[in-house]
Structure 1
């Protein structure tokens, strides 16, 4: 687990959603340590990803974490704690 708090409170992910995963998989909010667990490799399956350093990843993670209620990135991790899936909800504040 990461030493920094997750992006948002894990309690916001319904237990009914996580219960649908295979037994060795879990779903949780993004953590700063997910850089080392393969988060960007999962994104590369979907679209080109630039050369993002660990420091840049952690800086952007902290930026999103400070905007509580706007960024909800989840990860699915396997039994070895590797990131194998991700999803994102961005709440855009309108006038």
Structure 2
């Protein structure tokens, strides 16, 4: 198919938030898992695009007392252009959790 030149060398990976959260027993375990994923994305030097289905789950995901949630872990990389992301959610969930 036709792919824009600026996306030809890119790969899209689906980020399964449920799998990252599942089984996280102690404080910070989710944060460690998520940071490991983000480090792999960073190593790709911008050639990875993360697809996050149910994007609203990122808000507050993994948040425990004294730890950061997924949204706060994503922000610095997004701001620096180290992470490219596509998210999907419903309009109602967007309004409730993100807006």
Largest Rg, 1 or 2? 2
Q: Comparing both structures, which one devotes a greater share of its residues to helix? A: 2
TM-score of the superposed pair, with normalisation by structure 2: 0.28
TM-score of the superposed pair, with normalisation by structure 1: 0.29
